[in-house]
Amino acid sequence: MYNVCHLQRLDDLSMRSQATGTGCHRTWPQPERLMPLPMDARKTPTELKVYVTSGEGVEITWSDGHRSRYDFPYLRDHCPCATCNDERQRKATETVVLPMYKERVKARTAKAVGNYAIQIEFSDAHKTGIYSFDCLREICPCQDCAREFRGDVKQTTA
């Protein structure tokens, strides 16, 4: 009976060599886990504040203790809806950037969508963007998250 877990691991020698402990009581390194955790603490909010009236933006505290601040123009620019995705891709391929005055966008309303997302209606009447917490953590404007989730390296020092 006890060697069932041996048999499962025998095909992966590198994993075996990294294992600690003996026999069935070995603990295996992280990559061995086949199923993703159902809940990622980094993407689970413990506190959510949306400052619609003051226009300050959205503030989220995450289960891992991290706090994210987004202002509404930033969220508008990162709207995850299909239309905005297309537009961003189109802009990325355009070579001429026209200097354009854009009014600072605000939020008209914000509401929760289930327990996984928030939907924001912006002052430019755009309201199809549903920001899942997954997505929000990934677009957190701080450098740590840029590095962790988007692989960005700040280019300002180049």
Please state the closest distance from residue 59 (CB atom) to Zn ion, in A: 12
Under the binding rule (CB under 5 A), the answer on residue 140 touching Zn ion is yes
Token output for 17: 């060599």
Residue 19 or 84: the one with the smaller Cβ distance to Zn ion is: 84
CA 139 to chain centroid: 5
Span interacting with Zn ion, options 33-41, 91-99, 116-124, 135-143, rule CB under 5 A: 135-143
Q: Which of 127, 137, 130 is nearest to 114 (CA)?
A: 130
**Taking a C-beta distance cutoff of 8 angstroms, is the pair 57, 67 a contact?**
no
Under the binding rule (CB under 5 A), the answer on residue 142 touching Zn ion is yes
Burial of 126 (0-12, 13-18, 19+ CB in 10 A): middle
Span interacting with Zn ion, options 43-51, 95-103, 107-115, 137-145, rule CB under 5 A: 137-145
Q: Which of 135, 8, 124 is nearest to 60 (CA)?
A: 135
Please state the closest distance from residue 55 (CB atom) to Zn ion, in A: 19
**Taking a C-beta distance cutoff of 8 angstroms, is the pair 117, 58 a contact?**
no
Binders in 52-111 for Zn ion, by CB under 5 A = 79, 81, 84
Span interacting with Zn ion, options 32-40, 89-97, 101-109, 124-132, rule CB under 5 A: 124-132
From residue 10 to residue 49, the character string flagging contacts with Zn ion as x (rule: CB under 5 A) and all else as - is ----------------------------------------
Helix (H) or strand (E) holding 47: strand 45-51
Please state the closest distance from residue 98 (CB atom) to Zn ion, in A: 21
Report the half-sphere exposure of 62 (CA within 13 A, side-chain side): 20
Interface with Zn ion: number of residues (CB under 5 A): 7
What residues make contact with Zn ion under the rule CB under 5 A?
A: 79, 81, 84, 129, 140, 142, 145
